[in-house]
Amino acid sequence: MPEGAELEYLQQQEVLTHAELLLLLREVFIPAGFTRFRLTGGEPLLHPGVVDLVKTIAAFPETQDLSMTTNAFKLADLAEDLYGAGLRRINISLDSLEPETFDRIIGNRGRSRWQQVWQGIQAAHHVGFDPLKLNVVVIPGINDHEILNLAALSIDRQWHVRFIEFMPIGNAGLFGDKGWIDSAYLRQQIRSQWGLTEAQVRGNGPADIFKIPGAKGTLGFISQMSECFCDRCNRMRLSADGWLRPCLLNEVGQLDLKTALRSGISTLEIRSQVQALLSIKPEINYKQRESGATGEYARTMSQIGG
């Protein structure tokens, strides 16, 4: 969220309560066949009772996988409790190893946040999160000069660095008219320095996985702009204020589950609506792929998460 970006903050009553979220999980999503869950954002560590939420979801017999994406700003204090609650996989946003560049990207207007994020990453490593993935959104002219330094984090540590092509979702022009850098170009730069071999890492994401020969960790490349993977997408996203959307890049077809719940619609009917949306997701994926990974969106990536 670069400097100059302004967002309207949600009031607490606009957000799904803890009880509403768990009700949707127990009576809508799990019966509809969902077994893999990710807590993302915005920022999930701001959610009140996030540790209890993790513990409850991890304890569901149907839960096959539970992970989290976080900016790690509060992770140093919560890593051990989250691990104890049953979270095992974590993705952390780290777009730069340079504090000044990092603060520019996140839109920090006060003291630097980089050190606290780095401490959160160290805490996650210490308690044993595996895999521990670091998400790097590559922005031309901003942090692309750090590619090799960021890739090197995977050599001596069992960390998994993932390079993500910049998506200008509601952010067009905030970093200037710079577009994105193809993953193929990034791989070329890294291959020229160390070489690259194909690899694997546990997870359910769309990344193409490689590793530097002899490295403990891996390198992933998420190429949603240059190598659209809409046809492989099997994800649905439930926003903090209750909107279920079948596509991150487009708001077509989304359902307002919070209003449905609060207006007294039964969870059985809501489940039916969700299943109907699931049935047309392949069509939405196809249209998104054909559009060239562009869509209509009222929210920025800072609001809907990565």
pLDDT over 90 at 291, yes or no: no
pLDDT over 60 at 292, yes or no: no
pLDDT, tens digit, for every residue of 45-95? Answer: 998 899 999 999 999 999 999 999 999 999 999 999 999 999 999 999 999
Instruction: Give the pTM.
Output: 0.90
Residue ranges covered by each domain of the chain = 12-304
Token code pair at residue 118: 């780095």
Between residues 214 and 172, the one the model is more confident about: 214
pLDDT, tens digit, for every residue of 154-206? Answer: 999 999 999 999 876 655 555 555 578 999 999 999 999 999 999 999 887 78
Assigned CATH topology for domain 12-304: TIM Barrel (3.20.20)
State residue 283's pLDDT score.
81
Q: What is the mean pLDDT of the chain?
A: 88
Between residues 31 and 7, the one the model is more confident about: 31
Number of neighbours of residue 256 by Cβ within 10 angstroms? 15
Angle of CA points 219, 178, 220, to nearest 5°:
10
State residue 60's pLDDT score.
98
State residue 7's pLDDT score.
66
Closest residue by Cα to residue 87 from 44, 49, 130: 130
pLDDT mean over 110-132: 94
Q: How far apart are CA 185 and CA 239, in angstroms?
A: 33
Q: How far apart are CA 135 and CA 221, in angstroms?
A: 10
